[in-house]
Amino acid sequence: MVTSVRHLGPHWYAAVMGTAILGTAGHRLAPALLGLWAAVWMLALALLTALLTARAVHWTHHRDQARAHLLDPAVAPFYGCLSMALLAVGGGALTVGHAWTGSTAAVVLGAGLFGAGTVVGLAAAVGVPYLMAVHHRVRLAQASPVWLLPLVAPMVSAAVGPLLVPWLPAGQARQTLLLACVALFGLSLLATLLMLPVVFARLLAGGPLPLALTPTLFLVLGPLGQSTTAAGQFADVAPGVLPAPYAEGFRALAVLYGVPVTGFALLWGALATAHVLRARRLGMPFTMTWWAFTFPVGTCVTGADSLARHTGLAAFGWLAAGLYAVLAAAWAVAAVHTARGLVSGALLAGPRPARVAPRPATARTR
């Protein structure tokens, strides 16, 4: 195992995120199938446990490679996935995991993963941009949606945190956690609004992304769907926790913020799909970036479901159901290809050395 994990990067946590959202989003649409969604969550928990163990081995025995990942601008942003994997599984413990673990164990596990995921997410949100500015020396031509990953992690905390509010003592404790989640919402949203124009400008001025990176265009849906979900969570929890004017304000925010953001998410989803279809025609290979088709789409499912509940419009319910069908299909495809890659060893193999073109013949080399 020691040698097989040398090239195991933080991007593998995306598989945990995609599996966890498959269960939690499914529960929102069909709560009667709690046993099924709890089983999916257990799979996500098992994947998280296995990856945390493998990554611990990686850091212990391949510290040079781990340090190289941190200093690589193409890999370092994926450390945001560690935070989101912890948070996604923690949120699943609170919504569906209790069916297998019991309420007390689910709350303890959910709270622990929420705390760890939030700390890791804040560290990534500060540390990765710092590394990019000081050590990576990136260029605008290198910009990609992957740069959003460490900035989205606090938004996942903002969406998961309200699930813990009812378990805290009434009064200051509940208010503090809820408003802390609102602060995380603002932190992530404003940082995303700063980064997204850079990514969009790179796409328009620099042309399509490399084929293997094209699926990462779907990562932009993450902060859009997750922020809509978080706004809905605030509206659900605020009554009885905050004074009436603020509670009503959060109800208005859930709709007045969520509807236009969902509109932009649909626009971006159509643009990203067009790019992916083009890349597929050109021979886009399977890589772990295909997991970008899962978690970001899942956040749009939960966001649309939130709007369906707060507006009463059936259209948002149908949108959530349609997006969930896309999520389930994408998860199945990514899971099958990942399993094949693990069995063959292709996904854990090191990068192939670049081929050096032969030197042209000259009078001296003939």
> What proportion of the chain, given as a percentage, has pLDDT over 70?
94
Q: How many residues does the chain have?
A: 366
Q: What is the pLDDT of residues 205-256, one digit of tens each?
A: 889 999 999 999 999 999 999 999 999 999 999 998 999 899 999 999 999 9
Q: The CATH number of 10-346 is which of 1.50.10.150, 1.20.1250.20, 2.30.30.40, 2.40.37.10?
A: 1.50.10.150
Q: What is the pLDDT of residues 16-55, one digit of tens each?
A: 999 999 999 999 999 999 999 999 999 999 999 999 999 9
What integer is the mean pLDDT of 49-75?
Answer: 88
Q: What is the pLDDT of residues 289-347, one digit of tens each?
A: 999 999 999 999 999 999 999 999 999 999 999 999 999 999 999 999 999 999 888 88
Q: What is the pLDDT of residues 119-136, one digit of tens each?
A: 999 999 999 999 988 887
The dihedral sign for the CA sequence 318, 34, 163, 12? negative
Crossing angle for the helix pair 149-160 and 79-92, to the nearest 10 degrees: 20
Q: Say what the pLDDT of residue 358 is.
A: 46
Q: Say what the pLDDT of residue 211 is.
A: 95
How is the chain split into domains, by residue range? 10-346
Quick count: other Cβ atoms within 10 Å of Cβ 307? 26
Structure tokens, 358 = 């032969």
pLDDT band for position 147 (cuts 50, 70, 90): very high
Say if CB 307 and CB 245 are below 8 A apart. no
User: What is the secondary structure of 227-273 as a DSSP string?
Assistant: HHHHHHHHHHH-BTTB-HHHHHHHHHHHHHHHHHHHHHHHHHHHHHH
